[in-house]
A and B are shown apart, each in its own frame.
Chain A
Amino acid sequence: MPTGRTQALAAVAGGMGSGKLWNAHEHKRAELLGLTIDNQYTVAQKVKLYDGFATDASKTGAAGATQAAEHLGTSNVLSGLIRLELTVPAGESQKLGKEDCKGIEFLGRANAIADTTTSDCIIIAQYKLT
């Protein structure tokens, strides 16, 4: 079971490599199995997990209208889909187990973005590629 670890990075630092927990797999999706946020910073942190990927061009409707490729989180983490959002009070740790994470899947890359950039808030995720 792979583990991803990162420290809290704020949205202003939200480039593609920011707060990365794991990279996208070409043919697999990632299932979140557990999450630990250890917030030893002085204020509460709201942590969001973003799913970043680009769709393939496709077609839609009876006439087969072209559906252009969409770029979600591929140029900026914040344009990705939010799969999980959690606020952790200052000086506390919160842990989500397998049951809490059940059904939370990522199609692409996973990034964690917080309110403040600080090394005092660590985010650790366990996941499985399927």
Chain B
Amino acid sequence: MIELRPVETVERIKPAVRVVLPDWWLKFSTAFPDTLDHVKGKTFKVLKQQQVKYELSWLIKEACYKDVNLSNEAAGEKLYPDVADNLYEVIIGFKPGNYFCHVFFPADYPLYRLDYPDMSPLISSASLKYLGAIKPDDSPVDNPIFKLYLVFKLKPIILRLYADDGVDYEKISLNLTINRCLMQQGVPPPNVTPKPIQYLDEIKWLLGAGGA
């Protein structure tokens, strides 16, 4: 007897993008520098929130890169909040293409690297240019997972967008959702665990919670 059995399948649930919502509590790490003392180590309640969509694109020649400064500096894209009680949760989705993105914070200091001294992203190296690179598939426009938390006076975050070899020219398009959050400092109820907001240096150097 032949038993025809259905092929086993795994149900895949596409995770929805979770954004910071009103009434959420946020706790900023003590690793934030003193220059950001308006958030350093403090806890806030999100009062209001608004999501703003934005698109940015660049046409770049093969094997060339563009440094995109997200800050409010003159040459920046001005995606930072301009007041101390705002948090911008920026979600970045990459449109398909033959390119990748390195993240620097502050300028010249890559966010993603390994411990060995030379194991740092290097755009002129055939192998190291792929180290720590975020590819469009990693945070596609229909399911973006690349998030940045931006506060007033934060040092500039630089996205280095590189048109990889293999195409003459590449159009690099970013879909951004800027979740503007109005915050109010306070003490969360005992049954609420605030969402921790780490300083980027903690991610870079794998520091413990609170910058230990």
Contact = CB atoms under 8 A, between A and B. Distances in A.
Given A59-B67, A61-B124, A107 B169 contact: yes
A27 B57 contact: yes
Given A58-B65, A59-B65, A61-B124, A29 B60 contact: no
B135 interface: no
A55 B61 contact: yes
Given A59-B65, A107-B169, 14 more contacts: A26-B55, A27-B57, A27-B173, A28-B173, A53-B59, A56-B58, A56-B66, A58-B60, A58-B66, A59-B64, A60-B65, A72-B169, A81-B168, A107-B171
6 contacts: A53-B59, A55-B60, A55-B61, A56-B59, A60-B63, A70-B61
Among B59, B169, B173, max chain A CB count under 10 A is at: B59
A67 B67 contact: no
Contact of B61 (A29, A62, A67, A108): A67
Nearest to A69: B59
B65 A55 contact: no
Interface residues of A, number: 20
Contacts of B61: 55, 58, 60, 67, 70
Interface of A: 26-29, 53-56, 58-62, 67, 70, 72, 81, 107-108, 130
Contacts of B58: 56, 58
Interface residues of B, number: 22
Interface in B162-192: 163, 168-171, 173
B109 to A, nearest CB: 16
Contacts of A72: 169
A72 B59 CA distance: 11
A contact face: mostly helix, strand, loop, or mixed: loop
Interface string B115-152: 00000001110000000000000000000000000000
Contacts of B64: 58-60, 67
B154 to A, nearest CB: 24
Nearest to A55: B59
Among A53, A58, A59, max chain B CB count under 10 A is at: A58
A7 B63 CA distance: 37
Among B64, B66, B168, B170, max chain A CB count under 10 A is at: B64
Nearest to B175: A27
A130 B64 CA distance: 23
B104 to A, nearest CB: 13
Nearest to B172: A56
Contacts of B124: 61-62
Among A56, A67, A81, A108, max chain B CB count under 10 A is at: A56
A33 B14 CA distance: 29
A1 to B, nearest CB: 19
A23 to B, nearest CB: 15
B184 to A, nearest CB: 36
Nearest to A54: B59
Contacts of A70: 61
A67 B173 CA distance: 19
Contacts of A26: 55, 57
